[in-house]
Amino acid sequence: MTEFWLISAPGEKTCQQTWDKMMAATTRTNNLSVNHKFSIPDLKVGTLDVLVGLSDELAKLDSFVESVVKKVAQYMADVLEDSRDKVQENLLANGVDLITYITRFQWDMAKYPIKQSLKNISEIISKQVTQIDNDLKARASAYNNLKGNLQNLERKNAGSLLTRSLADIVKKENFVLDSEYLITLLVVVPKTSYSDWQKTYETLAEMVVPRSSNLLYEDNDSGLFSVTLFRKAIDDFKHKARENKFTVRDFQYNEEEMKADKEEMTRLSTDKKKQFGPLVRWLKVNFSEAFIAWIHIKALRVFVESVLRYGLPVNFQAMLLQPNKKTMKKLREVLNDLYKHLDSSAAAIMDTAMDIPGLNLSQQEYYPYVYYKIDCNLLDFKV
């Protein structure tokens, strides 16, 4: 399970007692979850007004930072297109896997000094993650353009003879060049019509050079034939060819253009390889930064909500539960029983929510205890 429940409950005589009670209820007899203490330092409380306003701001910031974390993770998966199994090993926080980071969470005093006000800390995180989001947009746009241009060129050199580039198929000696009167055309003929072509091509128009047709290339369905004729007969020949289901490709042999296309493809391929390493490193570093910021926001939210609910002086125990998937419903019931005395209205809401049509609590889940979900499954595909 990659889902965690970050909860808090007020300290009994001591916070250790709160922890022991929760452990007894969820693990001693029924093994409903794996639990860890979640360490939050002594943050500056500030005034009640500020806390109420901050509670709303942190909810928005939480959603925004989660979306950036997911965007960076998903783009990492897109960039590592041929090795998606390597994605997970690059999605680390502070050099460790995400579950280890969360379960051993320690506040980063250097990045987010606790002498600062809660509002300042949230602004530091907001600025930092907005910068990551902007940088990601710019880097992704540059890399995607490069990748798109390269794919377009690669697509031109693949596919059916009716559409693909012919530059790497034909040679100079296949053409009559620099003639005032004669021109060589390239015609795509279905394999089933080879004999028809050989019988009819000389008579599709006047002034076709006899025995001038050669098969230059074949794919699964068709062949590419050359044919030489007088320039003045081009339109007539094309018209009659179309009637016979032969397709004249619009192609002129131009060595300089063909060389430029080849060089462009080599340049784009080299540029893509050059950008790949630094881009993956940037994604790795900034995924870690964004994820760490996200978990610090969760810590801030638990702190603010706990003070608002349980009052001052600050006295609560934050706890991280990793539910067992099969017993999540049971775990929720056990927690509600354990903490329903904290907020009777929340307990009543939980009891009646099932009976009220149209009442959707999933957007803003509310329980008698402080609760936030952390879902570490950040990708659309299963790695």
Q: Could you tell me the CATH number of the domain that includes residue 231?
A: 3.30.70.100
Three-class DSSP category at 355: coil
131 and 206 belong to one structural domain: no
**pLDDT score recorded for residue 359:** 42
Three-class DSSP category at 93: strand
Please identify, among 252, 285, 308, the residue that sits at the C-terminal boundary of a domain.
252
| Range among 68-82, 83-97, 207-221 with highest mean pLDDT value | 207-221
- Is residue 157 a part of any domain in this protein? no
317 and 367 belong to one structural domain: yes
pLDDT single digits (tens) 270-294: 998 999 999 999 999 999 999 999 9
Task: Check: CB of residue 51 under 8 Å from CB of residue 45.
Answer: yes
Other Cβ atoms less than 10 A from the Cβ of 144: the count is 13
Q: Indicate the pairing of strand 222-230 with strand 247-249.
A: unpaired
Other Cβ atoms less than 10 A from the Cβ of 107: the count is 15
186 and 238 belong to one structural domain: yes
CATH number at residue 349: 1.20.1460.10
Please identify, among 252, 286, 320, the residue that sits at the C-terminal boundary of a domain.
252
60 and 133 belong to one structural domain: yes
Tally of domains in the chain: 2
Residue with tokens 């025995």: 211
- Is residue 163 a part of any domain in this protein? no
pLDDT single digits (tens) 216-247: 999 999 999 999 999 999 999 999 999 999 99
330 and 364 belong to one structural domain: yes
- Is residue 35 a part of any domain in this protein? yes
- Is residue 349 a part of any domain in this protein? yes
The token pair that represents 375 in the structure block: 């879902």
14 and 104 belong to one structural domain: yes
**pLDDT score recorded for residue 265:** 86
139 and 185 belong to one structural domain: no
pLDDT single digits (tens) 163-178: 888 888 899 999 999 8
* Cα angle, residue 45 at apex, residues 42 and 47 outer, rounded to 5°: 175
47 and 141 belong to one structural domain: yes
Residue 362, pLDDT > 50, answer: no
- Is residue 258 a part of any domain in this protein? no
How large is the average pLDDT for residues 89-108?
95
**pLDDT score recorded for residue 346:** 59
Q: Whole-number mean pLDDT of the chain?
A: 91
Q: Give the domain range for residue 192.
A: 172-252
189 and 141 belong to one structural domain: no
91 and 198 belong to one structural domain: no
User: Which range has the worst mean pLDDT, 65-74, 151-160, 351-360?
Assistant: 351-360
- Is residue 210 a part of any domain in this protein? yes
Other Cβ atoms less than 10 A from the Cβ of 48: the count is 11
Please identify, among 252, 277, 305, the residue that sits at the C-terminal boundary of a domain.
252
- Is residue 49 a part of any domain in this protein? yes
The number of residues making up the chain comes to 383
CB neighbour list of residue 243: distance below 8 Å, 6 or more residues apart? none
Q: Tell me the C-alpha distance between 303 and 306, whole Å.
A: 5
107 and 218 belong to one structural domain: no
Residue 358, pLDDT > 80, answer: no
How large is the average pLDDT for residues 151-164?
85
142 and 191 belong to one structural domain: no
- Is residue 296 a part of any domain in this protein? yes
- 318 has which bridge partners? 8
